[in-house]
Amino acid sequence: MPNLFGLFGSGDRRRPTSRSRAYPQPAQGARRYERPELGRADYQRAEFPRPERRRREPEHEVNWRRRGMVALSSLGVIAVVAGGVWLFRSDTLRVHVIDVEGTQVADPQLVATVSGAAGASMLTFNLDAAGREVAKLPAVKAAKVTRVWPRGVRIDVTEHQAWGYWQAGPQRLVIDETGRVLEQSRPPAGDAPTIVEVASQNTDGKSVAADPDTVQLVNRLRTDGTFDRLKVKPTSYIFRRDRGLTVIVASGPAAVLGDSSNYEFKVRTWQALLEQVRAGTVPAVQAQAQTQASPSGTPRTGQSAAIASEIDLRFGRNVVLR
């Protein structure tokens, strides 16, 4: 039988036997060498900080509905702003109709022109400023301007109402109840009073001015029922710069009131003296006719005793009879 080992290798190679089989020798233990001067080495494991692991957040889904609502809201705001600008610049909300009420003396067309309302914007038109401009007209005392939507304005006018007259020489002025001289106004009533200023140095009328206190005093006498309580009928009102107001009545002595101070006291004193005059208990006042009175005080020929024709109430309790 041919040697099969010769086909693949050297013929000297033999099949190992139990005797010739090589067994590995046990390895010697690892030797540990120590340096006497250093001693035993200690080894420690280095600790390194571990990096924090970032938690991966889950991806959110896109909320298309919310984005759509935001987009629609933005478009709505833009549309509102654009519409407001268009309304402001267009003629849709501009004043085309002006109603003027309460005018008898003032010209309604002039009132509408002065107000500046024609063509103004209904949104930005200044109502208070327009009312002040209308009130500057001579016949207008006050004016109120209101909006009438969608394209109208209403102007309510209060005109000056004349109360009476102030006359100084040839000058006759129309005044109201406060003594203000009116250039244009509604006419006074048929029984309006006339206060006559006498002894005026201004005959040309350029510097003539009504006395407000005197005007208010006459107005109070006429409106609070004083003349009815006193049972007198005033015929004229006389004003002098040095003594104030004198009321001339039809029957009885005139009353010098001066000004409006101590009004209640003056009226009560006037009433008490009128009652005494009517009862005949007021002492007679000597009136000089042609000759002077005698030293004894009795009237001489040509003199007669007369009732006081004037009551001066300007000095408080010191009432003077003339």
pLDDT of residue 212: 95
3-state secondary structure of 155: strand
What are the residue boundaries of the structural domains of the chain, listed by start? 97-159, 164-291+299-321
- Please say whether the beta carbons of 295 and 270 come within 8 A: no
- Rounded CA-CA distance 180/193 in Å is 15
Q: Does domain 97-159 have CATH number 3.10.20.310?
A: yes
- Identify which of 200, 204, 159 has the alpha carbon closest to the alpha carbon of residue 182: 159
Contact 155, 134 (CB under 8 A): yes
| Positions in the chain short of pLDDT 50 | 1, 4-5, 7-8, 203, 205, 286-305
**Residues 167, 209: contact at Cβ < 8 Å?**
no
Element (H, E) at 221: helix 212-223
pLDDT by residue (tens digit) across 182-238?
999 999 999 999 999 997 555 454 578 899 999 999 999 999 999 999 999 999 999
**115: its two tokens:** 């107000």
| 191 to 35, 142, 266: CA distances (angstroms) | 145, 26, 25
Strands of 171-175's sheet in order across: 171-175, 164-168, 194-197, 234-240, 244-249, 254-258, 310-312, 320-321
Domain 164-291+299-321 in CATH 1.10.8? The answer is no
SS3 content of the chain, % helix, strand, coil (to 5): 25, 20, 55
